[in-house]
Structure 1
Amino acid sequence: MRRGIVAGGVAVVVVAGGGSVLAWSADGDEAETGHEAPLRTVAVGRGDLVDTETVDGKLTYGDVREVWTGASGVVTWAPEEGATVKRGGTLLKVAGEPLTLMYGGSPMYRVLKNGDSGKDVRQLERNLRSLGYGAMTVDEEFTGATEAAVKEWQDDRGLEQTGMVDGAQVAFLDGPVQVREVKAPEGKQTAKGQPVLTVAGTRRVVHVDLDADKQDLARKGAKVSVELPGGAKVAGTISGISEVAESTGEGQDKKTTIGVDIALGSAGTGRFDEAPVSVELESERRKGVLSVPVEALLALRGGGFGVEVVDGGRRRLVPVDAGAFGGGRVEVAGNGIAEGVKVGVPAE
């Protein structure tokens, strides 16, 4: 359908397919009607108007980090890349002795033994209790009961029963992990303090390398929509924004980006890793405004915009001020424009 507008003291004309013509006088009164232009009507709505911008991202796992061991010697066992390790599981074996994963936010930085106290003691005791060892009180004191629990655990792990724990035996990480890269494969000599694995958390996230000049689109906690491989859409939340920009390429190919991570919660994402996805980021939100579908808007030849207000069998042109666009709608304001007023749009 072609909808033309003539303004400036003459008439406003809408020409529909098939030669139908509907004309208005300059004051908006219907002046002459030929075959009525085929229209349908929609109501002016009130609500939030959201404009979005789509960017590329990739589906991956969050919390990527390296794992170090406090042991020195030859690696006698290493996990396969992609393997998942949970609390109490083996991350690596050096000289036949396992490095065990336990959960906690503080790294193992000292030898823990009877008489010690601190938050790392509580962290160890919490893990021993979760793994079914000992009747000790979970607190910040390494007591004889804690030592007994450690010896029982060491016995089951094939370790010397010293009652003391160090970084050669335990690595504290935030939770279960997926092995991303084995840096110290079986047969390799490793030393204390060297990275042996790269791991990631088991929660799925989307990572976006966002152009630095678009960083205003990313706000921590903001809701986004993610289109997965296959076309399914899931909701996400921006969980992390890098504070450091990264530059790649040179000259005209130079690109500066900031990293943005998006949490997907419990949304089903399949088993794809590094799969490309599309992310809709919110660029603008107008709250509680009146809006109509974009196709209801008529551009006036003399400048400005109008909509066709339909009242029963009567149709008249009403000039409007157009505001923000978003989601296929446009913000409108003007005399006679209110929530629920019917306006015309081209019939499909």
Structure 2
Amino acid sequence: MRGRTVLLAGGAALVVASGAAAAVGFGGADASTPPRSALPPATVKVDRGTLIQTETVDGTLGYGDPVAVKGAGGTLTWVPAEGATITRGKPVYKVDDDPVVLLYGAMPLYRPLTADVSGPDVAEVEKNLAALGYQGFTVDDEYTPATADAVERWQEDLGLPETGTVTPGQVVVAPGQIRVATLKLAAGDPANGPVLTWTGTTRIVTVALEVDKQQLVKKGLAATVELPGGDQVAGTVAEVGTVAVVSAETTTIEVVVTVGDQQKLGTLDQAPVDVIIESDKRENVLTVPLNALVALAEGGYGLQVVEGSTTRYVAVETGMFAGGKVEISGDGVAEGMLVGVPK
């Protein structure tokens, strides 16, 4: 509606600037006026292409919301540096000189895993052991003596007591490799409460989108991220929140936009960015510049068609407005047609 309002104002300006065009009437059922000899100052061709409407919203570029890792007692003897990346099987921190290592998965370890235990947490540990190169067991949801043997070999390599049992305090579970965001404790502190926070290693853009604009976005929609310096990078809407957040001023949902080319983001973190969302698209439609439209005495809009040394006016229906162009249709309108525009 905002684009249409602008066009109507522009159309009014054209009427003032081109009084002859505004005075043209079609005389009832005729589709166009008889030819006239007054040529416009410039011309363009009716084009066929794609129009895309966009909406620009505020976003924040960063690593996403941090997740806390809590210690289970003992004394911290080593912690990583802030900003460090930790991968599967590597220590997240050490307690009493024993490493607490990272495993990939979705389910936090909530119980000791030992012989005759079964469940998805068992499958998660076995998948990690296999990914780390340990063999001799079947990856399923059964914790068998063969699984315990593989765990003992893993514990030996880590310098841990070879118990064959995996306890919650020995591992940290995350969806993938992690980036240390903030250290909450230092070496020498008791390992109680939050030890550190982590995020993913890939930067994303989060948008607090007003709920009255949620129809503009859906998962998989293309987006463009404009950085503080003006550079633009391609992005994709990856998540659209379903829980509204109510504040004193507005109600929003969280939208997450991913960026494929992380190098183009430089070293930016927690930076304000603009997110340009493709809210609507029209493909394979006839288009002209907005200033090619003239307001007609009968109402509506038309084009001044140029044919050699003469012109005539053809009524058109308008569709989408985007990027300084407008979608048009109507009898007698064709791709390649020459129409008048102001200089």
| 263 and 6 in structure 1: CA distance in 2 versus 1, 3 angstrom threshold | closer
Partner amino acid for 1:116?
V
Q: CA deviation at 1:214?
A: 1.9
State the match for 1:58 in structure 2: 60
State the match for 2:197 in structure 1: 198
| Aligned partners of 2:46 and 2:287 also within 8 Å | no
Alpha-carbon RMSD across the aligned residues, in angstroms, is 2.7
| Aligned partners of 2:41 and 2:342 also within 8 Å | yes
Q: CA deviation at 1:158?
A: 2.1
Q: How does 1:270-285 map to 2 (within 5 A)?
A: 270-285=266-281
| Aligned partners of 1:238 and 1:261 also within 8 Å | yes
| Aligned partners of 2:118 and 2:143 also within 8 Å | yes
CA distance, structure 2, for counterparts of residue 117 and residue 170 of structure 1: 18
| Aligned partners of 1:309 and 1:342 also within 8 Å | yes
CA distance, structure 1, for counterparts of residue 65 and residue 337 of structure 2: 51
**Residues paired across the two proteins, number:** 325
State the match for 1:38 in structure 2: 41
| 91 and 267 in structure 1: CA distance in 2 versus 1, 3 angstrom threshold | closer
Deviations 1:282-318 (A, max 9, x none): 3333454332221212234664222122234432222
| Aligned partners of 2:46 and 2:286 also within 8 Å | no
Which of 302, 322, 328 in structure 2 is aligned with 1:326? 322
| Aligned partners of 2:291 and 2:342 also within 8 Å | yes
CA distance, structure 1, for counterparts of residue 119 and residue 198 of structure 2: 27
Partner amino acid for 1:176?
Q
In the superposition, the TM-score normalised over structure 1's length comes to 0.83
* Structure 1 position 218 matched with structure 2 position 217: yes
Structure 2 residue ranges without an equivalent (≥5): 1-11, 27-31
In the superposition, the TM-score normalised over structure 2's length comes to 0.84
Deviations 1:46-74 (A, max 9, x none): x44321111111211246433234x2122
Q: CA deviation at 1:173?
A: 1.1
| Aligned partners of 1:24 and 1:30 also within 8 Å | no
Q: CA deviation at 1:117?
A: 2.3
CA distance, structure 1, for counterparts of residue 255 and residue 241 of structure 2: 6
Compare the two structures and name the one with the higher helix fraction: 2
CA distance, structure 1, for counterparts of residue 95 and residue 191 of structure 2: 8
| Aligned partners of 2:207 and 2:255 also within 8 Å | yes
* Structure 1 position 183 matched with structure 2 position 184: yes
Q: CA deviation at 1:87?
A: 0.5
Deviations 1:119-154 (A, max 9, x none): 222221221222223432322222233222212221
Q: CA deviation at 1:213?
A: 2.4
Of the structure 1 ranges 217-226 and 158-167, higher mean CA displacement relative to structure 2 is found in 217-226
